[in-house]
């Protein structure tokens, strides 16, 4: 469930006054959720580092996406061509076939 910033802020303030467990019970949220909000509120730098680590992990898993994002400025015409295509996967497959055919002729 998504909670708005005001709700989270009010929950943190309430937990400062009456304790995490009691505040979580009154607000009908889990203690872990409230504790997480408190941690994020007090440690914004660690949250930024955790976000960067998650992004890097995603890029490692998605090698092609990583290369495309790195070359977005240098390969603008390729990105435009992909964006304009209705069949992106078909376009990429055809490009790879042509590339491999060209490599085999060498």
pTM across the whole model: 0.41
C-alpha to C-alpha distance for 46 and 36, rounded to whole angstroms:
12
Domain ranges, ordered by start, for the chain: 1-42, 48-74, 75-106
Nearest alpha carbon to residue 27 among 57, 1, 55: 1
pLDDT of residue 84: 84
Give the number of other Cβ atoms within 10 Å of residue 63's Cβ.
9
C-alpha to C-alpha distance for 51 and 44, rounded to whole angstroms:
11
Match 């941690």 to its residue by tokens: 39
pLDDT of residue 18: 95
In the predicted structure, residue 44 carries a pLDDT above the cut 70: no
Cβ neighbourhood burial of 25 (10 Å; 0-12, 13-18, 19+)? middle
């Amino acid at each position: 469930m998504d909670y708005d910033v005001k709700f989270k802020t009010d929950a943190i303030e309430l937990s400062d006054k009456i304790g995490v467990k009691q505040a979580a019970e009154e607000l009908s949220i889990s203690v872990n959720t409230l504790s997480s909000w408190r941690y994020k509120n007090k440690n914004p730098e660690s949250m930024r580092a955790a976000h960067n680590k998650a992004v890097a992990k995603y890029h490692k898993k998605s090698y092609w996406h990583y290369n495309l994002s790195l070359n977005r400025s240098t390969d603008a015409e390729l990105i435009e061509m992909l964006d304009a295509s209705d069949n992106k996967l078909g376009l990429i497959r055809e490009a790879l076939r042509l590339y491999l055919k060209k490599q085999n002729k060498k």
